[in-house]
């Protein structure tokens, strides 16, 4: 679908003043072709573009909007907090409330520090792990995204045991040399690396359910192996739950899987739509941070009262409404109709879902890692995406993203979406 005339006009102006016309690359629609629409308003399950088109939204501002867009409780919390002041740069009561809530909800977190984005959380967590262990090497997995941190914008090298290659211009070779990238769900590669270099590895960072290459789930025992092998070698295990934290359960994947990482990175849902991230974990490690310890980390807007109030309101509303149970019900309903449609159309595409997170891979191959994900038929995905958009349903503009449902998505929304998605699949 071409975007409407007002969106086109805005995009032309945006391109004059903003690189690529966007403030984050995926928004430019390069993966699906065409031009982005500009949003004027978002409420509940719907977004309204500047040309007056209305869409059911399954991106949810890339995860944060778990109650739906602009929920009343969050609006009120923002209003009430802002009336008292917008930023202090001195401790405020909201950040204490937020820290206590995180420590109560997330099993592994004994102490936590607030930051302003997921990228800041992962960047700080790996510095802390390096400071704590006195080691330099980092291990990550192919297909996991941890924000645009230099040491983590690294792609796999030629062999599993070699250092990685910069995955962006501007990432120094020396940084990539300190990051090893392994295939996800591959115990043998992991064991080989730790056997050879375990004593050098400061941290292993992982999205426990990778949700930035589509949605990929760990094979049984894989997360436990990560826990065991890092414990054995004195490596800090970092769960990057920026996407999964407060999205799948109060305590994230670590609660669902019963695995206790050393450090956890958080973001997205925790901010109620405002810029918030956090990292936390074992007190012994967290106490290495300044001012108590030698690892420097700071932030002018960290623990911002308005952002804390928004996030707390969102978390408390999820708890009050038993939101995670409801999202699982919605997810099941969606799943039933999707699977029924695929069967009816004789399509072998792979569907993965956890609670309110889902991905339909346009491939018949089971997806256990990035390599499998890349077998997807991207041309078919593009057609599907544009058909849906034209008919009032907005899925993420890339095959390699996860979809999100919110509490504002009604059973009616879901059935309407499923009907439309069925027509989209039939049109391929």
Ligand X SMILES: *Cc1c(COP(=O)(O)O)cnc(C)c1O
Q: Which is nearer to ligand X, 69 or 140 (CB)?
A: 140
Question: By CB under 6 A, which span of 144-152, 331-339, 342-350, 359-367 interacts with ligand X?
Answer: 144-152
Helices (H), strands (E): how many in the chain? 14, 16
Among 122, 185, 264, 398, contact with ligand X (rule: CB under 6 A): 122
Residues 6+ apart with CB under 8 A from 84: 305
Q: Which is nearer to ligand X, 349 or 400 (CB)?
A: 400
Q: Which is nearer to ligand X, 204 or 414 (CB)?
A: 204
Write the CA distances from 22 to 11, 37, 168, 175, integer angstroms. Answer: 9, 11, 18, 27
Q: Which residue, judged by CB position, is nearest to ligand X in the bound state?
A: 118
Binding of residue 341 to ligand X (CB under 6 A): no
Binding of residue 243 to ligand X (CB under 6 A): yes
Read off the tokens for 408.
């504002």
Among 117, 133, 341, 417, contact with ligand X (rule: CB under 6 A): 117
Q: Which of 94, 132, 145, 209 is catalytic?
A: 145
Which parts of 207-296 are beta strand (E)? 236-240, 263-266, 277-281
Nearest to 406 by CA among 39, 46, 26, 37: 46
Q: Is 90 helix (H, G, I), strand (E, B) or coil?
A: coil
Question: By CB under 6 A, which span of 140-148, 166-174, 315-323, 350-358 interacts with ligand X?
Answer: 140-148
Binding of residue 317 to ligand X (CB under 6 A): no
Q: Is 20 helix (H, G, I), strand (E, B) or coil?
A: helix
Beta bridge partners of 309: none
Binding of residue 151 to ligand X (CB under 6 A): no
For residue 357, the minimal CB distance to ligand X (Å) is 11
Q: Which of 268, 324, 352, 387 is catalytic?
A: 268
Helix axis angle, 305-320 to 93-105, nearest 10°: 40
Binding of residue 267 to ligand X (CB under 6 A): yes
Binding of residue 119 to ligand X (CB under 6 A): yes
Q: Which is nearer to ligand X, 131 or 267 (CB)?
A: 267
- How many chain residues interact with ligand X (CB under 6 A)? 14
Rounded Cα distance, 99 and 105, in Å: 10
**What is the C-alpha radius of gyration for the chain, rounded to an integer number of angstroms?**
21
For residue 240, the minimal CB distance to ligand X (Å) is 5
For residue 364, the minimal CB distance to ligand X (Å) is 27
Q: Is-contact 53 26, C-beta < 8 A?
A: no
Q: Which is nearer to ligand X, 119 or 297 (CB)?
A: 119
Read off the tokens for 246.
């407060």
For residue 79, the minimal CB distance to ligand X (Å) is 24
Binding of residue 92 to ligand X (CB under 6 A): no
Long-range contact list for 77-86, CB < 8 A, 24+ apart? 77/272, 77/309, 77/310, 77/312, 77/313, 78/272, 78/274, 78/306, 78/309, 78/310, 78/313, 80/309, 81/305, 81/306, 81/308, 81/309, 81/310, 82/306, 84/305, 85/305, 86/304, 86/305, 86/306
Active site residue 240: yes
Q: Which is nearer to ligand X, 240 or 413 (CB)?
A: 240
Nearest to 226 by CA among 252, 261, 256: 261
For residue 40, the minimal CB distance to ligand X (Å) is 23
Among 240, 262, 372, 413, contact with ligand X (rule: CB under 6 A): 240
DSSP conformational letter for 160:
T
Binding of residue 302 to ligand X (CB under 6 A): no
Q: Is-contact 422 341, C-beta < 8 A?
A: yes
Question: By CB under 6 A, which span of 8-16, 26-34, 118-126, 192-200 interacts with ligand X?
Answer: 118-126
Binding of residue 242 to ligand X (CB under 6 A): yes
DSSP conformational letter for 12:
H
Rounded Cα distance, 224 and 261, in Å: 10
For residue 246, the minimal CB distance to ligand X (Å) is 12
Binding string, 208-237, against ligand X, x = CB under 6 A? ----x-------------------------
Question: By CB under 6 A, which span of 112-120, 227-235, 284-292, 305-313 interacts with ligand X?
Answer: 112-120
Residues near ligand X (CB under 6 A) are 117-119, 122, 145-147, 207, 212, 240, 242-243, 267, 277
Give the catalytic positions in this structure: 145, 240, 268
């Amino acid at each position: 679908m071409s975007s409407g005339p007002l969106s086109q006009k805005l995009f032309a102006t945006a391109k004059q003043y903003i690189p690529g016309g966007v403030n984050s690359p995926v928004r430019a629609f390069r993966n699906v072709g065409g031009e982005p629409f500009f949003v004027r308003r978002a409420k509940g399950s719907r977004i309204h573009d500047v040309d007056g088109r209305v869409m059911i939204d399954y991106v949810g501002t890339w995860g944060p909007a778990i109650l739906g867009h602009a929920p009343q409780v969050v609006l009120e919390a923002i209003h009430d907090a802002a009336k008292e002041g917008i930023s202090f740069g001195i401790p405020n009561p909201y950040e204490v409330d937020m820290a206590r809530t995180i420590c109560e909800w997330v099993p592994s977190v004994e102490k936590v520090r607030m930051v302003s984005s997921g990228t800041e959380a992962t960047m700080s967590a790996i510095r802390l792990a390096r400071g704590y262990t006195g080691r330099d090497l980092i291990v990550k997995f192919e297909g996991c995204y941890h924000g645009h941190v230099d040491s983590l914008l690294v792609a796999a090298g030629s062999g599993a045991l070699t250092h990685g290659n910069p995955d962006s211009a501007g990432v120094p070779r020396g940084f990539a040399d300190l990051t090893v990238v392994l295939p996800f769900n591959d115990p043998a590669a992991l064991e080989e690396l730790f056997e050879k270099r375990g004593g050098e590895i400061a941290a292993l960072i992982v999205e426990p359910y990778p949700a930035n290459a589509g949605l990929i789930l760990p094979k049984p025992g894989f997360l436990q192996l990560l826990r065991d092998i890092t414990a054995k070698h004195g490596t800090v295990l970092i769960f990057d739950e920026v996407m999964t934290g407060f999205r799948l359960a109060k305590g994230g994947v670590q609660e669902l899987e019963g695995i206790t990482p050393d450090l956890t990175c958080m973001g997205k849902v925790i901010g109620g739509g405002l810029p918030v991230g956090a990292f936390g974990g074992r007190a012994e490690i967290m106490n290495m941070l300044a001012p108590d310890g030698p690892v420097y980390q700071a932030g002018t807007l960290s623990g911002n009262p308005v952002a804390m109030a928004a996030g707390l309101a969102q978390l408390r509303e999820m708890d009050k409404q038993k939101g995670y149970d409801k999202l699982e019900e919605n997810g099941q309903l969606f799943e039933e109709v999707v699977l029924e449609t695929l069967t009816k159309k004789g399509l072998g595409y792979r569907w993965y879902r956890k609670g309110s997170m889902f991905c339909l891979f346009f491939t018949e191959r089971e997806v256990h890692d990035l390599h499998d994900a890349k077998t997807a038929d991207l041309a078919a995905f593009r057609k599907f995406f544009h058909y849906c958009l034209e008919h009032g349903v907005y899925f993420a503009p890339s095959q390699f993203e996860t979809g999100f449902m919110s509490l504002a998505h009604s059973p009616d929304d879901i059935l309407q979406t499923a009907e439309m998605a069925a027509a989209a699949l039939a049109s391929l």
